[in-house]
């Protein structure tokens, strides 16, 4: 059986060779005839190419078996019929026929064009990195001068590239960061049953700009809590920086000085380098959603902890905390754990007797006390947005800046987000407030109170459960005498019957 099959195959090959010789001339211009039955599609194209003395390239999409009976057609007509009836396309390049699917043929042999895409927000190098990894067979160049991308690609790829660039070239949101670095007595916190370093904890706002401690189970505002400790000498504010940055970009705050540090090399030579000593805070925010911020925090504190043997160069002690936290916009998180311990020696003695040489020790007593202090950092990230879709109708109120005011304390005073205050004052970052300056405050119209005959500040404060001192500070007045029909600003919603109507903007 095997011998018979080999004979049959040999006969068929001889027949094909004979036919091929007779069709070579017809492939050059005359008509040809095809008679294939159950032949592989690639073999059919190969036979045609051989007849025409042409090169052939097919990709893996050229598959399947066909039966063909064609008479008196040209070579190109035969190629076109075979291609189209099998969902394929072809292209003749010099002495080569390329057969593939229409899309692959366009991608590989379509016409190229060059387009310039000007970016509005993203940097060209960032977009180029993404395009290089996603778009094949294209040439992308960066023009930093015009913040543009010069793209050379097949025409059918351009719509896809444009759509991708439009999606990537989005304005990055800004994040305002309010930080407060506090040094608190560990001993006092233990007395109160507070352990700040157990976890990062979140303090929950009771209203916009008002912040309460949640996890400590204490029904007081955390700022008031710290103020109590500060007044008792148990806490002190080391820094209260404010900064604005673009999402994804690191914000760095350094408070301190440079000191000389001696470095000895292998040859025994001593070189002096200057290093930063103090507080270094690095925060990188990422906007997860309209209401969520993911922040990377690197908090480092370095202090002089003594001097070397020469007494000239200081020895630096460094404490550092690194953490990643997801925070709702406007919430405050606290990070603790940087503890330092200090020994305090005290000497008590009986006047005069305690100063007698040798015998004086009998009238003296000494005590060594270990005191621990913990550095705690409070961070409040706030997404800055210009979205006015859900804004409440407001009126611009001019507030006179007073001593000790910061943007954050003013926002808490009015119960208004500090980002809104920044927006109406056209401030890209935290402004430095000066006493006497006028600051625009976007006060809701339902927060204006119309003074009536007989009204007093004390009476209004009691009715609306507002601190009297707070109301006086907002409106910069001490009395309502002869102030009938005056419009007062309250940090809470005013009852409908008490509201001032027809307010004109300044």
Q: What are phi and psi of 456, to 5 degrees?
A: -130, 155
What share of the chain in percent tops pLDDT 90?
3
Tens of pLDDT, residue by residue over 16-67, are 433 443 333 344 445 777 788 888 888 888 888 888 788 888 877 788 888 8
d(CA 460, CA 127): 58
Domain boundaries of the chain, sorted by first residue:
32-107, 112-168, 177-265+278-341+377-383, 394-498
CATH for 112-168?
3.30.1370.120
Most confident among 48-52, 124-128, 407-411 (mean pLDDT)? 124-128
For the domain bounded by 394-498, which CATH number is listed?
A: 3.10.350.10
**Environment class of residue 83 by beta-carbon count within 10 Å: exposed (0-12), middle (13-18) or buried (19+)?**
buried
pLDDT digits (tens, 9 = 90+) for 294-317: 988 888 888 777 777 666 777 777
Q: What are the tens digits of pLDDT across the range 94-118?
A: 778 888 887 777 766 666 788 898 8
Query: Would you say residue 139 has pLDDT above 80?
Result: yes
Q: How many other C-beta atoms are found inside a 10 Å radius of the C-beta of residue 226? A: 21
Residue 328: C-alpha distances to residues 103, 222, 260, 283, 381 (Å): 47, 18, 42, 16, 8
Average pLDDT over residues 358-365: 64
DSSP 291-315: TEEEEEEEEEEEEEEEE-TTSSSEE
Q: Can you say whether residue 70 is alpha, beta or left, with left for phi > 0 and alpha for psi between -120 and 50 degrees?
A: beta
Burial class of residue 30 (count of CB atoms within 10 Å of its CB; 0-12, 13-18, 19+): exposed
Burial zone of 70 (CB within 10 Å; 0-12 exposed, 13-18 middle, 19+ buried)? middle
pLDDT for 347: 57
What's the topology of domain 32-107?
Answer: Phage tail protein beta-alpha-beta fold (3.55.50)
Arithmetic mean of pLDDT, 458-477: 90
pLDDT tens digits along 255-297: 777 777 777 777 777 777 777 788 888 999 988 888 888 988 8
C-alpha neighbours within 13 Å on the C-beta side of residue 369: 8
Neighbour tally for 232: CB within 10 Å: 10
């Amino acid at each position: 059986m095997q011998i018979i099959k080999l004979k049959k195959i040999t006969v068929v090959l001889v027949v094909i060779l004979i036919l091929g010789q007779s069709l070579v001339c017809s492939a050059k211009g005359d008509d040809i005839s095809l008679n294939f039955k159950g032949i592989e599609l690639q073999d059919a194209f190969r036979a045609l190419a051989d007849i025409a003395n042409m090169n052939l390239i097919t990709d893996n999409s050229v598959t399947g078996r066909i039966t063909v009976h064609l008479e008196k057609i040209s070579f190109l007509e035969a190629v076109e019929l075979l291609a189209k009836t099998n969902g394929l396309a072809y292209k003749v390049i010099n002495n080569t026929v390329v057969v593939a699917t229409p899309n692959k043929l366009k991608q590989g042999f379509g016409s190229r064009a060059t387009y310039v895409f000007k970016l509005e927000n993203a940097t060209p190098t960032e977009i180029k990195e993404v395009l290089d990894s996603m778009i094949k067979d294209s040439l992308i160049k960066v023009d930093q001068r015009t913040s543009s991308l010069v793209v050379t690609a097949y025409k059918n790829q351009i719509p896809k590239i444009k759509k991708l660039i439009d999606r990537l070239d989005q304005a990055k949101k800004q994040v305002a960061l309010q930080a407060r670095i506090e040094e608190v007595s560990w001993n006092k916190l233990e007395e109160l049953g507070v352990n700040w370093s157990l976890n990062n904890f979140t303090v929950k706002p009771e209203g916009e700009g008002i912040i309460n401690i949640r996890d400590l189970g204490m029904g007081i505002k955390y700022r008031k809590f710290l103020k109590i400790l500060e007044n008792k000498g148990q806490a002190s504010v080391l820094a209260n920086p404010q900064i604005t940055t673009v999402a994804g970009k690191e914000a760095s705050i350094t408070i301190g000085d440079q000191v000389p540090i001696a470095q000895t090399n292998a040859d025994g030579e001593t070189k002096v380098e200057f290093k930063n000593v103090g507080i270094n805070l690095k925060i990188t925010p990422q906007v997860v959603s309209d209401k969520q911020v993911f922040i990377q925090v690197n908090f480092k504190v370095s202090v002089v902890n003594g001097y070397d043997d020469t007494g000239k160069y200081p020895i630096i002690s460094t404490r550092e905390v690194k953490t990643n936290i997801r925070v709702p916009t406007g919430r405050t998180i606290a990070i603790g754990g940087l503890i330092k311990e200090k020994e305090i020696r005290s000497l008590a003695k009986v006047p005069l007797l305690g100063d007698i040489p040798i015998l004086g020790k009998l009238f003296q007593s000494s005590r060594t006390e270990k005191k621990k202090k913990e550095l705690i950092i409070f961070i409040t990230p706030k997404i800055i947005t210009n979205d006015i879709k859900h804004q409440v109708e407001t009126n611009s109120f001019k507030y006179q800046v007073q001593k000790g005011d910061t943007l954050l304390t003013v926002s808490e005073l009015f119960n208004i987000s500090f980002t809104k205050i920044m927006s109406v004052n056209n401030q890209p970052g935290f402004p430095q407030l000066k006493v006497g300056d006028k600051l625009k405050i976007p006060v809701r119209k339902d927060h204006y109170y119309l003074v009536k005959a007989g009204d007093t500040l004390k009476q209004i404060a009691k009715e609306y459960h507002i601190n009297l001192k707070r109301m006086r500070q907002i409106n910069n007045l001490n009395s309502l005498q002869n102030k009938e029909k005056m419009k007062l600003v309250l940090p809470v919603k005013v009852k409908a019957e008490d509201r001032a109507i027809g307010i004109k903007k300044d």
